[in-house]
C-alpha cells in the first residue's frame, strides 16, 4: 500500500472535529473543485472525479473522538482506504488524514501527486471550515 498523509492542528475541541468528520454529508465541503455530482448520507458518499471516474465510499468504522475509517462501497479503480485520526492536545485537536492506496508502478506515477494534493486539500479545507 502507498500512503499519503496530511497533518494539521485545529483550534477546536476533539469532539467538535469528530462530530463534523463522522458525518459524510460534511465531507463535500472538504473536496476540491474537480469533485462533482456529490450525493451523501451520514454513512455514504458518491461523487464523480472530473475526467477520471466515479467513486462510492462508506464509513467502515468510527471510534468516538479518535478515528474514522472510510472504504469504497463499490469496486474502485484501485483498492483504497481513507483514515482520519484525531488526538486531543489540550487547547486544540491534532488531525492526521491518511489515504492508503494499492497502486501498481504505473498508477503510482500517475496518481501519487493528485492523491497527496487531495490529502493536503482536505486537511486545509477542514481547518478553514471549522475555524
Residues present in the chain in total: 131
Return the pLDDT at 90: 86
Contacts of residue 122, Cβ cutoff 8 Å, sequence gap at least 6: 6, 27, 30, 31, 97
pLDDT in tens, 62-118: 999 999 999 999 988 889 999 999 999 988 999 999 999 999 999 899 889 989 999
C-alpha cell at 104: 501498481
Q: 2-130: what CATH class?
A: alpha beta
Ranges of each domain in the chain? 2-130
Amino acid at each position: 500500500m502507498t500512503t499519503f498523509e496530511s497533518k494539521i492542528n485545529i483550534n477546536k475541541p476533539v469532539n467538535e472535529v469528530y462530530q463534523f468528520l463522522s458525518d459524510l454529508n460534511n465531507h463535500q465541503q472538504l473536496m476540491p473543485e474537480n469533485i462533482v455530482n456529490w450525493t451523501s448520507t451520514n454513512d455514504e458518499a458518491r461523487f464523480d472525479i472530473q475526467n477520471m471516474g466515479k467513486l462510492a465510499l462508506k464509513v467502515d468504522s468510527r471510534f468516538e473522538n479518535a478515528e474514522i475509517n472510510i472504504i469504497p462501497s463499490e469496486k474502485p479503480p484501485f483498492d483504497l482506504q481513507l483514515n482520519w485520526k484525531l488526538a486531543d492536545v489540550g487547547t486544540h485537536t491534532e488531525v492526521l488524514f491518511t489515504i492508503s492506496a494499492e497502486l501498481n508502478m504505473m498508477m503510482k506515477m500517475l496518481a501519487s501527486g493528485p492523491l497527496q494534493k487531495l490529502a493536503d486539500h482536505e486537511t486545509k479545507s477542514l481547518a478553514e471550515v471549522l475555524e
